[in-house]
Amino acid sequence: MSKGMFQPPNTSDIGSYFADLDVRQRKLFKTLWHKRQVVLTGQTLEILDGNTLVFACNIAYCTTRILRPKKNHFPFELREHGKTKITFGALTESSQDQFIQQLDKFLIWRGQQPQNGDIWSNLMAVAEAINNKKADELTLNIPRSKLSVQQVQEHLISMKSVYDLVATIPNIEALYTTFLNWERDYFNGVQGNFAHTVHLLHPSKYTGMARDKLALVDTLMQCPHTGCGAKLPLFSVYEMHILNKEFDCAACGGTIRYEAYSIARFVKAAPSYKAKCTLKKEPIDIAFTTPPMPKDGKWTTMLSILKEKMLPEAAKLSRNGFTLMKSFYSTHVGRQKTGNEGAFALDLVQGMFRQLDFINKMCPHFEYWMHPTVIEAAIYRYEKFIYLMSRKDRRDYDPLVPTSDIDLVWHTHQVYHEDYKAFCLNNTANRRLIDHDDTIPGGNLARGYTKTFVLWSKIFHEAYSSFPPSYEIWTKSSLNNNTREEWAKYGSVPQENNRYYGVNESFDINAIPYATVIAQGSTKTSEKIPEALPVYLTVIGTPVMDGRVRQPYTPQNTLMYSGGLPYYYMPYIYVGGCGGFGYFGSTDVSDTGNYLSMTANTSGGCAGGCGSGGCASGCASGCGDSGGDGGGDGGGDGGGGGGGCGGGCGGCGGCGG
């Protein structure tokens, strides 16, 4: 590894290279050639139709293949990871050669992948180079976390214990049952299990339990429809809870979806509204019964019925009295509809599925991550990442996105909740606790990663990773001048021996004996494993949203695949909204808080109590005594798939961080 480790190509005298080329496009069953202007600026290739950008990509990992020429036409392909990205055509052989020469200047490797020693030595050299940079960056005053190598190793060992256990679980129902039981154990006071760890990994939601809720297994396994309570089949509950599907109860015929449970809690918490009012100086007793859950189990239907039933009451009440009645129901709807069904501030079973995805990406390379040199480098990059947050433009609301090494240390730090909280308060603007959100959809991760890459390059004068950021996202940002030269300087990935070795590169499975991730005899699929199976590594610099690092034939990932989890279906590409990353070209209820909007008479007043049942009751605006605490910190754990009210899509969860 060279002294200029992680340095992008020299762009001090860079300019843009323009070429007029034909670009091949397949449309239906026809192949068409279009004349386009192609612009190369460093590692960025743009294709323009007039002044319109129609395609852009980073060419760092591309190669070229010259095709058979035809009369006055010299075609060639731009390929990446063995697949054709674009086919160009030049009018002369010399113009073809000139363009390819420009491309070759900024490729990661020219011709074939350079090798200085074996794979393990090259991976270790990356970590050593990071550790050697500490002395050169003392003037930046990067905050030190005081995390130890041993603490990260202990967290890795706990991850590995979950990983190994999952390998022995026969089917997705058994895994779901395990997670439900762990959540119930934690609910009952057990500390240190996987559910507890997942709770710690959401520091802003690491709060106490809602006193009006049960463990998830005791809530979800029974029909929520009014007067039913029938026991439900396990797999149907799994699909409803984790895959956001719906099914009908065999006993009552009501549709069961995740949001139906919050409707049931709403009806239980506010079964009626009672008040003593005056209208035209005459006393009136109001006794209104909350309608039962609708058969379809939807909040939209429930609110529509509630409004319809309340409308006749408007004639009996003054404007103020009816406003208090609406406020009562709006308060209860808001308290129940925006919450998840667990007793904690997030649905921990959904959270365990998302965290398992991260574990499944990291633990196949357990020996690598346990190495003290790698951990020391990961800790330092994490500290630089936190420092970067203090330098981030406050007008930019996209999150900074970690690489896998940073995320590992970030998780470790959060497990030590008080230490993590103190570190955040002492090293961030406005003394704020930095949350960790693993439900961010892929598109937001793509934006955040690109902005993280560029900011890291500007602050630390080195590339963040060898995984290319998105040129499209950068050009659309309103917070920069969008010059090609600036992008070439800060958006480029390092070349050849200066790169983050192993990032965005495929290896033959037999080439990495220290990380044997696939066992033919233990896989639970009848599909034959390819002999030449490409393996992508999770190493220092691998972005958290690179789905190719999921090993498709491990027992753990085969189990996830059989469970229908959408981010396991395409293991060789970026999924969860990250598809085609780096390239350009190719709830049904509104939570406004104003759930009920109706009018009533204009005179009189209202006073008295509000009849209700259960906890988390009471009435806004002083209508009697309030009920107990409840509802938790609403919001649910939507995840990448979204859908429904409160809980959202369990388990889809973006790209697993």
Identify the three-state secondary structure at position 193: coil
pLDDT given for residue 619 in this prediction: 29
| Most confident region among 43-57, 374-388, 596-610 by mean pLDDT | 374-388
Rounded-to-integer distance, Cα 288 and Cα 630, Å: 23
> What b/e string do you get for 514-531 counting C-beta neighbours within 10 Å, with b at 16 or more?
ebebbeeeebeeeeeeee
Handedness of CA 493, 497, 500, 503 (dihedral sign): positive
pLDDT for 193-229, tens place per residue? 999 999 999 999 998 888 889 999 999 999 999 999 9
Query: Which ranges of 37-170 would DSSP assign to H, the alpha helix?
Result: 93-104, 119-132, 149-168
**Among 324, 333, 278, which Cα is nearest to 304's?**
333
Rounded-to-integer distance, Cα 420 and Cα 403, Å: 19
26 in a domain, yes or no? yes
53 phi/psi in degrees, rounded to 5: -75, 120
Q: Of 107, 135, 155, which one is at a domain's C-terminal end?
A: 107
Q: Which residue has the higher pLDDT, 378 or 392?
A: 378
What average pLDDT does this structure show over 523-551?
A: 77
- What does pLDDT average to over the chain? 79
Whether residue 520 is found in the same domain as residue 389: yes
pLDDT for 460-509, tens place per residue? 999 999 998 888 778 776 565 656 777 878 888 887 778 899 998 888 77
Rounded-to-integer distance, Cα 648 and Cα 337, Å: 11
pLDDT given for residue 520 in this prediction: 42
Whether residue 391 is found in the same domain as residue 518: yes
pLDDT given for residue 529 in this prediction: 61
> What b/e string do you get for 314-350 counting C-beta neighbours within 10 Å, with b at 16 or more?
bebbbebbbbbbbebbbbbbbbbbbbbbbbbbbbbbb
Q: Which residue has the higher pLDDT, 517 or 618?
A: 517
Degrees, nearest 5: CA angle 59-578-559: 125
pLDDT given for residue 512 in this prediction: 63
**Among 207, 192, 206, which Cα is nearest to 158's?**
192
Query: Which ranges of 274-318 would DSSP assign to H, the alpha helix?
Result: 299-310
Whether residue 237 is found in the same domain as residue 271: yes
Sheet architecture: strand order including 74-80:
52-58, 44-49, 30-41, 17-27, 83-90, 74-80, 62-66
Rounded-to-integer distance, Cα 501 and Cα 126, Å: 7
What average pLDDT does this structure show over 513-529?
A: 49
Degrees, nearest 5: CA angle 410-412-416: 110
103 in a domain, yes or no? yes
Rounded-to-integer distance, Cα 390 and Cα 368, Å: 30
Burial class (CB in 10 A: 0-12, 13-18, 19+), 61: buried
User: Cα(first)–Cα(last) distance of the chain, in Å?
Assistant: 30
Maximum distance among all Cα pairs of the chain, rounded to whole angstroms: 98
Whether residue 463 is found in the same domain as residue 560: yes
The answer to whether residues 87 and 23 touch, using CB atoms and an 8 Å cutoff, is: yes
Whether residue 460 is found in the same domain as residue 485: yes
Contact residues for 79 (Cβ-Cβ < 8 A; gap 6+): 62, 63, 64, 65, 85
Whether residue 536 is found in the same domain as residue 467: yes
The answer to whether residues 639 and 651 touch, using CB atoms and an 8 Å cutoff, is: yes
What the block records as the tokens of 370 is 């346990």
Q: Which residue has the higher pLDDT, 528 or 438?
A: 438
Share of the chain above pLDDT 70, in %: 76
Task: Identify the CATH number of the domain in which residue 97 sits.
Answer: 2.30.29.30
Rounded-to-integer distance, Cα 234 and Cα 592, Å: 34
pLDDT given for residue 15 in this prediction: 63
pLDDT at residue 3 greater than cutoff 80: no
The answer to whether residues 317 and 279 touch, using CB atoms and an 8 Å cutoff, is: yes
221 in a domain, yes or no? no
The count of domains in the chain is 3
> Domain range for residue 249?
227-338
Identify the three-state secondary structure at position 141: coil
The answer to whether residues 597 and 300 touch, using CB atoms and an 8 Å cutoff, is: no
Whether residue 479 is found in the same domain as residue 422: yes
pLDDT given for residue 582 in this prediction: 35
pLDDT at residue 440 greater than cutoff 80: no
585 in a domain, yes or no? no
Q: Of 551, 579, 607, which one is at a domain's C-terminal end?
A: 579
pLDDT at residue 574 greater than cutoff 50: no
Whether residue 63 is found in the same domain as residue 154: no
Query: Which ranges of 319-441 would DSSP assign to H, the alpha helix?
Result: 319-337, 348-362, 366-370, 372-391, 404-415, 417-427
98 in a domain, yes or no? yes
The answer to whether residues 630 and 612 touch, using CB atoms and an 8 Å cutoff, is: no
Q: Which residue has the higher pLDDT, 639 or 549?
A: 549
| AA letter at 555 | P
Whether residue 201 is found in the same domain as residue 231: no
Q: Which residue has the higher pLDDT, 495 or 20?
A: 20
637 in a domain, yes or no? no
279 in a domain, yes or no? yes
| Most confident region among 157-166, 501-510, 642-651 by mean pLDDT | 157-166
Whether residue 197 is found in the same domain as residue 257: no
Handedness of CA 88, 89, 93, 98 (dihedral sign): negative
Rounded-to-integer distance, Cα 256 and Cα 297, Å: 6
> What b/e string do you get for 362-389 counting C-beta neighbours within 10 Å, with b at 16 or more?
bbbbbebbebebbbbbbbbbbbbbbbbb
pLDDT given for residue 471 in this prediction: 82
For the ranges 83-87, 372-376, 476-480, 635-639, the lowest mean pLDDT is seen at 635-639
Question: pTM for the complete prediction?
Answer: 0.77
Rounded-to-integer distance, Cα 461 and Cα 606, Å: 67
Q: Work out the angle between the directed axes of helices 417-427 and 372-391 (0-180°, nearest 10).
A: 40
154 in a domain, yes or no? yes
pLDDT at residue 75 greater than cutoff 70: yes
Q: Of 579, 608, 640, which one is at a domain's C-terminal end?
A: 579
Whether residue 397 is found in the same domain as residue 536: yes
Rounded-to-integer distance, Cα 615 and Cα 471, Å: 52
Rounded-to-integer distance, Cα 176 and Cα 372, Å: 34
**Among 597, 153, 589, 650, which Cα is nearest to 373's?**
153
pLDDT at residue 80 greater than cutoff 50: yes
Virtual torsion, Cα 188, 189, 195, 198, nearest 10 deg: 140
Identify the three-state secondary structure at position 105: coil
Whether residue 489 is found in the same domain as residue 370: yes
